Amino acid sequence: MLAEMMNFIKEVDKLKTIERRTYVSDGSRRENSGEHSWHVCLMAMTLFEVYERKKETDLFTSIRMLLLHDIVEIDAGDTYAFDAEGYKDKIERENLAADRIFGLLPEKISDQYRSLWEEFEEGKTNEALYATIIDHIQPLLLNISTEGRSWLEHEIHAHQVLNRNAWIKGISPQIHAQICEWIETGVEKGWLKDG
Q: How far apart are CA 122 and CA 125, in angstroms?
A: 8
pLDDT digit string (tens) for 10-27?
A: 999 999 999 999 999 999
pLDDT digit string (tens) for 135-171?
A: 999 999 999 999 999 999 999 999 999 999 999 999 9
pLDDT at 158: 97
Domain segments of the chain: what residues? 2-189
Residue 195 clears pLDDT 80, i.e. is over it: no
Given a contact cutoff of 8 angstroms between Cβ atoms, the answer to whether 10 and 71 are in contact is: no
Given a contact cutoff of 8 angstroms between Cβ atoms, the answer to whether 165 and 139 are in contact is: no
Q: Angle CA(136)–CA(142)–CA(146) in degrees, nearest 5?
A: 150
Superfamily grouping for domain 2-189: Hypothetical protein af1432 (1.10.3210.10)
pLDDT at 85: 85
Q: Which amino acid is at 17?
A: T
Residue 180 clears pLDDT 80, i.e. is over it: yes
Residue 194 clears pLDDT 90, i.e. is over it: no
pLDDT digit string (tens) for 54-92?
A: 999 999 999 999 999 999 999 999 988 888 888 889 999
Q: Which residues neighbour 111 within 8 Å (Cβ) at sequence distance 6 or greater?
A: none
**DSSP structural state of residue 22:** E
pLDDT digit string (tens) for 84-132?
A: 888 889 999 999 999 999 999 999 999 999 999 999 999 999 999 999 9
Q: How far apart are CA 21 and CA 29, in angstroms?
A: 10
Given a contact cutoff of 8 angstroms between Cβ atoms, the answer to whether 5 and 109 are in contact is: yes
Q: How far is CA 109 from CA 70, 89, 145, 178, in A?
A: 17, 27, 38, 37
